[in-house]
Amino acid sequence: MVKSLKSAQHRNNIVVLMQNERAAHYARTSTMPSLNNSSISKTLNWRDSVIALVLIILGILVLNSALFFHVLTLNASSSWVFDWTEHLWFLAIPLIWYFAFRKRFPIGKLSKINIRQWLPAWVILLAVVIPLEVLTSQKMSLAGISLLAIIMNLLFNGVLVGISEEFVFRGQIQTGLNNSVKKTLKIGKGNIRLGTVLTALIFAGIHFQNILSIPFALFFGMIVGHFYDKTNNIWGAVVIHNIVDFLSFVIPVIL
């Protein structure tokens, strides 16, 4: 009788051990990331940066060709169509890489801590752009411009331009270059990553249509790119970019 009880207890212990082992195995396999798991993000590299730049240039060429061959005609009330189309294309590039290819860049959140981290950059850029716009802008009249065009221009400068350009330039291109190029440059008492400088140069070059804006675009790209490297938060760049472009549209109107 005692022997049978011990035998039954032994069998029960074996069953419990097997159940525990199966549970442990399930826990390991269910939480362990698979190499084939499509949810795992991949690292951006210089090739992704080059492809993004080529796609940007192709988009600009296609739109300007449409203007040249009169496929697309613009006037004061329809120029926003060109700007929106161009920048929706800019935004599509990093979003495709981010969601379809899962090659991702730091985005972060717009919290109080992040705002404090970005405040120096915002102060520096606003201290430059406001006097610059006041001193160099020519009076712009809204006469003859439709209400729809005014609204779309305000939304473009206050919302779309920042998120589209920052996602593609700082997000995809700068991150890809900095992941591949580890070199840093010494500027004054500080250091800045080479990929950040290259991205600022590319960003300035894209503003070739307005030669006078190229120096500020370079300065803007260096400041914003450096702070993006420091914070890994792109929303600070998006906010200041929208503010700068919104002011560049509004100041000439209210002068």
Domain residues of the chain, as ranges?
Answer: 44-254
Which residue blocks in 74-232 are alpha helix, DSSP H? 79-95, 112-136, 147-155, 161-165, 175-180, 194-206, 214-231
For the chain, the maximum distance between any two Cα atoms, rounded to a whole number of angstroms, is 105
Tens digit of each residue's pLDDT (9 = 90 or more) over 32-66:
333 333 457 899 999 999 999 999 999 999 999 98
What are the backbone dihedrals phi and psi of residue 191, each rounded to the nearest 5 degrees, phi first?
-120, 145
Distances (CA, A) of 26 to 15, 34, 86, 125: 16, 14, 50, 54
Q: For residue 36, count CB atoms less than 10 angstroms from its CB and return exposed for 0-12, middle for 13-18, buried for 19 or more.
A: exposed
Q: pLDDT above 70 covers what percent of the chain?
A: 84
Tens digit of each residue's pLDDT (9 = 90 or more) over 116-144:
999 999 999 999 999 999 999 888 888 88
pTM comes to: 0.83
> What integer best gives the mean pLDDT of the chain?
86
CB-based burial, 48-86: b 16+ in 10 Å, e otherwise:
bbeebbebbeebbeebeeeeeeeebeeeeeeebeebbeb
